[in-house]
Amino acid sequence: MSKLLTGMTSLTGLFSETRISGHKQRDLRSEAFDQLSDPVFLIDITGSLVDANSAGTAFLARLPEEGSLGALGKRELRELFSRSFGKRLSPNTFRVDEEEGPRFFDARSSNLTPSITILKLYDVSPWKMIITEKEGQYRERLSALERSKPVCAACGAIRNENGKWSGAGAADSMEIPAERRSHGLCPRCLAKALERAAST
């Protein structure tokens, strides 16, 4: 996270100061600014878009006027512009529906001057895909564990959904994989184990 914030702070170095009509202002364009791969937007005190780098301009061109089902559109982006002026945004993830499928962006903002805020969108789609894949694997594993069969560790009997135990060796005849076995003791083997423990 500090790396992202450091990257955000270093954006201020992409602008050269010039004097226009007696006021110190920033030249909103530089070659380095346009070469950034992530969309970057400059927002003024009214929350309006002042400038965007090439990636930001291309990003705006791809956005629909209004996002659907929680996706980001131009209207929602304008709302983000007005919310982000003068504030350091904590990470917000936004979905953008594109022809190739949804992409996800984290938005970060930082003040460039008292009257200009930088808003940068970081493409986090690869991370989102990894997280989604891991969540799916976790749900699969959890589902498999929920379908686990209680098996008696001593005799191999299986307990059904009604709590009844099958005969000894049933787990071996059903070939239940080890990861689906939940070991315990059936009442008969538990009684035998308690009897042995009491006699010693």
Could you tell me the CATH number of the domain that includes residue 152? Answer: 3.30.1490
Residue 56's pLDDT band (boundaries 50, 70, 90)?
Answer: very high
Residue 57, C-beta contacts closer than 8 angstroms, at least 6 positions apart: none
158 and 114: one domain? no
On whether residue 132 sits in a domain, the answer given is no
Which amino acid is it at 138? Y
Q: Are residues 115 and 158 in the same domain?
A: no
Query: Do 79 and 119 fall within a single domain?
Result: yes
Helix or strand run (H / E) with residue 139: helix 125-146
Question: Do residue 10 and residue 84 come from a single domain?
Answer: yes
Q: Are residues 121 and 149 in the same domain?
A: no
Residue 181 lies in a domain: yes
Token pair 């005849």 is at which residue? 173
Q: How confident is the model at residue 13 (pLDDT cuts 50, 70, 90)?
A: very low
Do 113 and 149 reside in the same domain of the chain?
A: no
- pTM of the full predicted structure? 0.56
End-to-end CA distance of the chain: 61
Q: Would 135 be classed as within a structural domain? A: no
Do both 27 and 97 map to the same domain? yes
Structural domain tally of the chain?
A: 2
Computed over every residue of the chain, the mean pLDDT equals: 78
- Over range 74-84, report the average pLDDT: 86
pLDDT value, residue 90: 66
**Same domain, yes or no: 18 and 68:** yes
Supply the range of the domain harboring residue 14.
2-125
Q: Which tens digit of pLDDT belongs to each residue from 123-144?
A: 999 988 899 899 999 988 877 6
pLDDT of residue 55: 92
**Looking at the domain assignment, is residue 32 inside a domain?**
yes
Q: Which residue's structure tokens are 């929680």?
A: 70
Q: Is residue 168 part of a domain?
A: yes
Residues 119 and 154 occupy one common structural domain: no
